[in-house]
Amino acid sequence: MDIESGVGFTPIGLSFLFLASVLIFFLPRKYLTIPIFATACYMTLGQKVIIFGFDFTLIRIVLLVCWSRLLIRKELFLFRPNINIIDKLFLCWVVASITTYTILYGTSNAFINRLGMAYNAIGTYFLFRYLIRDLSDINRVVKQLAIIIFPLAILMLFESLTGRNPFYSLGGVPEISAIRKGMVRCSGPFRAPHLAGTLGATLMPLFVSMWFNLKVKKLICVIGVIAATIITITSSSSGPVMAYGFAAIGLIMVPFRRYMRAIRWGVVFMLISLYLIMKAPVWYLIMRLSNVIGGVGWHRSYLIDQFFKRFNEWWLIGAVKISHWMPYGHPIDPDKIDITNQYIAQGVNGGLITMILFISIIVYCFKGVGRAMKENQMQAFSVKITLWSMGAALFAHVMNFLSVSYFDQINVFWFLLLAMISSLGTNSRKVKLAKLRNLKGSSFVSII
């Protein structure tokens, strides 16, 4: 076994891994998500070993321990989640990402890189699919997250006041926090401030929905919302701040949920009107908005502009050299540019097919939330707001993708949301079966 020199776990990392492993093997299934969330929130990607050329970060090892527990304790086959369209699209997206990226670069390193991505994606998503089976599991997971991220919010507040990242000793993050326009941009255990801020912005609507759940203490809801808000604000990043705002808008729209089709078409009509009125393409609204709230809006708008104009360069399997797209290059790789857009990242690294599959996952997730809302329209408001909050969180991610590209442990929480929404299909089938049983029962009574 070849372990790269200079790379390994600190005493804190080793202690954390030992404790997490013990908890994974002895906690009940419903609490198995806690070590995963704690690892993603408090361990940096600097905690890793390299074995035979493969990076084993602490979060990857924790995922391996989780799957090992399910196999050793023979729990894996006790429950088999029904594979739905979201699951199938997710698998197709992973396969397309591996295939196109490997062909694009044509090297073994590229293949190893995509295998690592596949390990993270499939290992995380389907683990959550196994652990989160219905709405009660979703509510429990949200409560766990509210408690787990509160100390992280305190640590990021400390970073904001001191300008020093307390996670620096774990490696993988800078000691001195970045500063933009006099504001400290906190990143915590994440590799960039905007990824840390994304965590808070996209979890906020889930925490708000707990306020209406009679089985959840209001204090947990308040703690979660405060923590999410602190994490978003201390990141001092325009993308997460906008995502927070879009999440809030999504929540506010719940009274108008029956009119969402008309609202969506109204937004499309508005964008078309702006396209006809504006001298520049409609995506330059990002630049104008950044002039108000800050950020590098021109870069994001110009990047989208170049992406469409150079369609012929990337549509097949992606593009290797894209430095000519911008008037300035990447600080590390002269062939690259800073891709601050998740959709564009999918296209550049995997071509049109990978980007379409990625967008299709999002589309069917929205459909899944909408279907669940219809099938639970006679349920209590607490059920409906929980379902709606997942749609609001998804909306926040979707809008955030226009200005942020995900590349570290934030993906754990993105895959979590997808798995939660995918599990609604299982819950919907239970509702259908219950209605069918009631229908049969009522028919039997009428016959008698």
Question: What pTM was computed for the model?
Answer: 0.92
The span from the CA of 48 to the CA of 51, in Å, is 10
DSSP state of 177: P
Report pLDDT for 282. Answer: 81
Q: Which residues contact 344 (CB under 8 A, 6 or more apart)?
A: 303, 304, 307, 405
310 DSSP 8-state letter: T
Contacts of 103 (CB under 8 A, 6+ apart): 317
Contact 260, 268 (CB under 8 A): no
The alpha helices in 334-409, defined as continuous H runs, are 342-375, 381-400
Which pLDDT score, from 0 to 100, does residue 80 have? 75
**Longest pairwise C-alpha distance within the chain:** 80
What is the predicted pLDDT for the residue at 287?
A: 81
Structure tokens at 222: 């308040």
| Helix (H) or strand (E) run with residue 42 in it | helix 33-42
Q: What are 219-235's pLDDT values in tens digits?
A: 999 999 999 999 999 99
Residue 51: predicted pLDDT: 80
Q: Which amino acid is at 47?
A: Q
Write down the domain spans for the chain.
Answer: 79-447
pLDDT at 267: 86
Helix (H) or strand (E) holding 54: strand 54-57
Helices vs. strands in the chain: H and E counts, helices first:
16, 4
- Give the pLDDT of residue 441: 43
Label residue 444 left, alpha or beta by phi (over 0 means left) and psi (-120 to 50 means alpha). Answer: alpha
What pLDDT was estimated at residue 427? 52
Residue 183 DSSP SS3: strand
* Distance from the Cα of residue 156 to its chain's centroid: 20
Residue 433: its pLDDT value, please?
44
Rg (CA), the chain: 22
| Cβ proximity of 70 and 130 under 8 Å | yes
In this structure, the strands spanning 183-185 and 178-180 are antiparallel
Residues linked to residue 326 through DSSP beta bridges, in sequence order:
none
**Intervals of the chain under pLDDT 70:** 1-7, 291-295, 426-448
Scanning the structure block, which residue is given the tokens 């980007």? 355
Name the token pair of 417: 């949301």
| Tokens 């399997």 sit on residue | 317
- Residue 184 φ/ψ, nearest 5 degrees: -75, 130
CA-to-CA separations, 15 to 9, 175, 400, in angstroms, rounded: 9, 22, 35
In Å, what is the CA distance from 329 to each residue of 3, 46, 173, 335, 375?
A: 33, 26, 23, 7, 50
Distance CA 40, CA 48 (A): 13
Report the alpha-carbon distance of residue 299 to residue 346 in Å, rounded: 18
| Burial of residue 132 (number of CB atoms within 10 Å: 0-12, 13-18, 19+) | buried
- For residue 146, give the amino acid letter: A
* pLDDT score, position 442: 40
